[in-house]
Amino acid sequence: MSKGKTDDVTGTDTTGHSWDGIEELNTPLPRWWLWTLYLCIIWGILYTIAYPAWPMVSGATKGVLGWSTRANVAAEITAHEGKNADLVAQLLATDMDVLPASADLNRYAVARGGAVFRANCSQCHGSGAAGAKGYPNLLDDDWLWGGDMAEIEYTVRHGIRNEQDDDARYSQMPAFGEMLEKDEITAVVEHVVSLSNADFDAQLAETGAVVYADNCAACHGEAGLGDRSQGAPNLADAIWLYGGDREALTETVKNARFGVMPAWGPRLTEADVRAVSAYVHSLGGGE
Amino acid sequence: MTDQASPPSLYAPREPIFPRKVTGFFRRFKWAILVVTLGIYYITPWIRWDRGPSLPDQAVLVDLASRRFYFFWIEIWPHEFYFVAGLLIMAGLGLFLFTSALGRVWCGYTCPQTVWTDLFILVERWIEGDRNARVRLHKASWGVRKWRLRLTKWAVWLAIAVATGGAWVFYFTDAPTLARDLVSLTAHPAAYITIAILTATTFIFGGFLREQVCIYMCPWPRIQAAMMDPDTITVAYRDWRGEPRGKGNKSRRGKVKALQAEADAQAAGPGAARYSGTPYRQDDKPAAPVLSPVSETGDCIDCMACVNVCPMGIDIRNGQQMECITCALCIDACDDVMDKIGKPRGLIDYLALSDETAERAGAPVKPLWKHILRPRTILYTAIWLLIGLGLIYALFVRSDIELTVSPVRNPTYVTLSDGTIRNIYDVRLRNKSGEDRDFRLRLTSDEILRIELEGTDDLSLNIPADTTVLQRVYVTARPQDQAANSAATDLRIWVEDTTAQTRASKATTFNGKGN
């Protein structure tokens, strides 16, 4: 190894490279840096052998250590399920009506139910459980079929107006468009409006009250308070599933509505059914 | 390409450095700092601090699992991380301040790399002898003696390294428990892995890489150079006094000595030293180098003492260098030599570069305080103090209870059967005290609003010690009230600790139908 020339100004050796009269100074790198680089290269090669790395036609190489993120996640889920086994056993053994009284278990059920809800229920009821037209809002205090823990659990388990479950909640309003005259429908709609709204045509509503008593009161009650045993909505409150203006009500009276909910009993585990029921119960309307 | 037969190598092997033993003020000062800093590091995790039965009794503990940081009487929760951020900013500003005033004092005295390297060199000297013995041993072939000395040295280094890595893990869990687990081989693998990594880095960085860490691995030397200016006090060589350097012969030295004595006699007062270590302690410095008319050589006798003691392996007489960590050992070494040859101390000294220029020109030098108190350093100190006082204030106004309110915006409001408008809030209630407490919630607003809690008819909640509880809170407005029909209404949710009579609040808004 011979020394190159020395630069006069800096006193530093040059590499001997010269281009257009410019010479390159040589400030040598410590040799251990070079060894560090080689070490990193060797490490890199060993790493790609040990771990999944090289992309092939039908997937990456597996690596000799058999490491897999998918397997790790599965193992972590299993581990957490193992940790929660006691709570799940308690949840299965506890009577749903007294669940909110046991704070720790209820907290677990609500947290678990929230996850179940977001995965299975939010598509219709919304991620915030506020519902939409035709899909009930679960945050309010108005329930078609009942809002205590047992009723909610029944609804979740068996669903509403579905074909799959013989125990599904079932009721059907007739389409009055073919049974009533047009002005009768207008009148009965005015009567329904009068139940919850101060702004109505009194004379028309009075006519409608007769039509209502003959056709609607059997299910919705004489005062229009509804009947939970057959899922008949309360017509006297501020909540409308399909809209409370005259146009929407006319549409409802003429053609009726037929909201459907699947039975979740066969689709979810028993613990999930209980958990999601507890979650819905905890949203603010639980009775 | 070059037409040379063999091109020069682009890589250089490490030049081994054998720092010589040195005595003096700065060396003693550095030993003291070494003892204090290492003492703090090793002893701190073992200090106990009683916080009651439900909290750990370790004075300084970073409890990652339960997300708490304990520092004596202070307990920091994760959401109070701004304290740590504030301390880091203060550390940064402190570095700016010290570097602009005193150069790389952090590097020279307190950097862990410097402290542990010092300790490793001390061990090396005990086992292998001082510089000359070590050079001989380095050149000697690998015989029994060399193996014996090397293995002994490495064993002691390794013991120090294990203790270093071992002390680190004690900051993260209860020290006595972990110590027992470590010995009985039942501790968590993370503890052993951490110890192994820190042992390896301490052993390699302190024993073998040493100055290479400072020169090639650490980013600070580059950054610190940008923080220094001509007024910064740093370790420097009085070039005007030392040059031209030369060994000189005895008669020349004798002549110089005689002239020196003569010059001394002419000095202001009998017995008054011309140079008293640093120029800052002296009032009437001679305008020009006293020896220049009579001596062809300067005060530097080229004895290489400064080079031989340097842990970085540089020659301070070449001027300011990026490699210099300003450990000041060359000052001790040179003062020692100056004493022996009867020259005034301070050929190598702490001085500002602007002073060096002034001295050379015979102009008066600035007093020390003018170097320290400059707009720049005053500004750094002011910001540093401001942040520090802010943190202390924040620490003292902290309450044992806290709440955060996050309004549920999906949906913005809920209509109930009777037309009542309801807003939902997720309220996090934090009990930072060491005992269970009853918290009562209420609200204040200009409009008529009611507050209710999910799952209870009561407005009180029991919050266990040292926990956070998430509570769903409902605020309602009757249909006829203003709040139900307007867009947004301001309100404030209060939480009151019924035992301690302390309270906290958060402002939020209520959304009505007008929204």
- Closest CB to B454: pick one of A31, A140, A284: A284
Where do the domains of chain A lie? Answer: 83-168+261-281, 176-255
Q: What is the pLDDT of residue B253?
A: 54
Interchain CB contact of B410 with A (< 8 Å): yes
With contacts defined as CB-CB under 8 Å, which chain B residues touch A34? 11
Where do the domains of chain B lie? Answer: 26-80+104-227, 233-362, 401-511
Pairing of strands B450-453, B401-407: unpaired
With contacts defined as CB-CB under 8 Å, which chain B residues touch A28? 9-12
Binary contact (A284, B212; C-beta < 8 A): no
Same fold, A83-168+261-281 and A176-255: yes
The residue ranges of chain A whose pLDDT is under 70 are 1-4
Q: How far is B313 from chain A (nearest CA, A)?
A: 15
Nearest residue of A to residue B9, measured between CA atoms: A1
* Domain topology for A83-168+261-281: Cytochrome Bc1 Complex; Chain D, domain 2 (1.10.760)
Binary contact (B472, A282; C-beta < 8 A): yes
CB A277 within 8 A of CB A153: yes
Pairing of strands B11-12, A29-30: parallel
- Closest CB to B417: pick one of A14, A106, A237: A237
pLDDT 10s digit of each residue in chain B, 515 long? 445 456 778 888 888 999 999 999 999 999 999 999 999 999 999 999 998 777 889 999 999 988 999 999 888 998 888 999 999 999 999 999 999 999 999 999 999 999 999 999 999 999 999 999 999 999 999 999 999 999 999 999 999 999 999 999 999 999 999 999 999 999 999 999 999 999 999 999 999 999 999 999 999 888 888 899 999 999 999 988 888 888 754 445 555 555 665 555 555 444 333 343 444 434 444 444 444 444 567 889 999 999 999 999 999 999 889 999 999 999 999 999 999 999 999 999 999 988 888 888 888 888 888 899 999 999 999 999 999 999 999 998 888 899 999 999 999 999 999 999 999 999 999 998 888 899 999 999 999 999 999 988 899 999 998 889 999 999 999 999 999 999 999 999 999 998 888 899 999 999 999 86
Q: Which of residues 451-470 of B touch A (CB under 8 A)?
A: 454-455
Interchain CB contact of B362 with A (< 8 Å): no
Q: How far is B307 from chain A (nearest CA, A)?
A: 20
What is the SS3 assignment for B469?
strand
Q: What is the pLDDT of residue B275?
A: 40
CB B419 within 8 A of CB A238: yes
Binary contact (A127, B410; C-beta < 8 A): yes
Tell me the one-letter amino acid at A244.
G
CB B471 within 8 A of CB B412: no
Q: Which long-range contacts (CB under 8 A, 24 or more apart) does A17-26 make?
A: A17/B1, A17/B2, A18/B2, A26/B8, A26/B10
Contacts of A188 (CB under 8 A, 6+ apart): A176, A180, A208, A211, A212, A215, A216, A253
Q: How far is A284 from chain B (nearest CA, A)?
A: 7
Q: What is the pLDDT of residue B400?
A: 85
- Closest CB to A13: pick one of B8, B11, B410: B8
With contacts defined as CB-CB under 8 Å, which chain A residues touch B14? 30-32
How many whole angstroms separate alpha carbon B455 and alpha carbon A278? 11
CB B462 within 8 A of CB B441: no
Q: Which of B437, B444, B415, B441 is nearest to B426 (CA)?
A: B441
How many whole angstroms separate alpha carbon B210 and alpha carbon B217? 10
Q: How far is A32 from chain B (nearest CA, A)?
A: 7
Element (H, E) at A11: none
Return phi, psi of residue A165, to 5°: -115, 120
* Two structure tokens written together for A157: 């388990």
Pairing of strands B450-453, B460-463: unpaired
Question: Which of B11, B322, B426, B480 to probe the A interface (max A CBs under 10 A)?
Answer: B11
Sign (positive or negative) of CA dihedral B452, B456, B460, B463: negative
Q: Residue B137 class from Cβ within 10 Å (0-12 exposed, 13-18 middle, 19+ buried)?
A: middle
Nearest residue of A to residue B208, measured between CA atoms: A32
Q: What is the mean pLDDT of chain A?
A: 92
Taking chain A, what is the end-to-end CA distance rounded to the nearest angstrom? 91
CB A227 within 8 A of CB A145: no
Residue A132 DSSP code: B
Binary contact (B416, A140; C-beta < 8 A): yes
Q: Which of B120, B107, B210, B217 is nearest to B164 (CA)?
A: B120
Question: Which of A10, A31, A39 to probe the B interface (max B CBs under 10 A)?
Answer: A31
Q: Which of residues 98-117 of A touch B (CB under 8 A)?
A: 100, 106
How many whole angstroms separate alpha carbon B151 and alpha carbon B202? 17
User: Which ipTM score applies to this complex?
Assistant: 0.83
How many whole angstroms separate alpha carbon B152 and alpha carbon B147? 8
Binary contact (A282, B414; C-beta < 8 A): no
Superfamily of domain A176-255: Cytochrome c-like domain (1.10.760.10)
Interchain CB contact of B259 with A (< 8 Å): no
Binary contact (B10, A1; C-beta < 8 A): no
Return phi, psi of residue B479, to 5°: -60, -30
Q: Dihedral of the CA atoms A178, A179, A183, A186 (nearest 10)?
A: -90
CB A267 within 8 A of CB A205: no
Interchain CB contact of B375 with A (< 8 Å): no
DSSP A42-90: HHHHHHHHHSS--EETTEE---TT---HHHHHHHHHHHHHHHHHHHHHH
Binary contact (A126, B416; C-beta < 8 A): no
Nearest residue of A to residue B5, measured between CA atoms: A2
In angstroms, the Cα distances linking B79 to A143, B69, B364, B434 are 40, 11, 55, 18
Q: What is the pLDDT of residue B265?
A: 53
CB B38 within 8 A of CB B44: no
Strand partners, B471: B427
Classify A134 in phi/psi space as left (phi over 0), alpha (psi -120 to 50) or beta: left
Binary contact (B7, A16; C-beta < 8 A): yes
Q: What is the pLDDT of residue B515?
A: 65
Interchain CB contact of B216 with A (< 8 Å): yes
Superfamily of domain B401-511: Immunoglobulins (2.60.40.10)
What is the SS3 assignment for A219?
helix
Classify A161 in phi/psi space as left (phi over 0), alpha (psi -120 to 50) or beta: left
Buried b (16+ CB within 10 A) or exposed e, B235-249: bbbbbbbbeebeebe
Nearest residue of B to residue A106, measured between CA atoms: B455
How many whole angstroms separate alpha carbon B469 and alpha carbon B194? 34
Return phi, psi of residue B25, to 5°: -60, -50
Return phi, psi of residue B445, to 5°: -165, 160
What is the SS3 assignment for B133?
helix
Q: Residue B139 class from Cβ within 10 Å (0-12 exposed, 13-18 middle, 19+ buried)?
A: exposed
For A238-255, write each residue's pLDDT tens digit. Answer: 999 999 999 999 999 999
How many whole angstroms separate alpha carbon B219 and alpha carbon A271? 56
Residue B237 DSSP code: E
Contacts of B466 (CB under 8 A, 6+ apart): B54, B55, B68, B431, B432, B433, B434
CB B441 within 8 A of CB B425: no
Binary contact (A15, B2; C-beta < 8 A): yes
With contacts defined as CB-CB under 8 Å, which chain A residues touch B12? 28-31
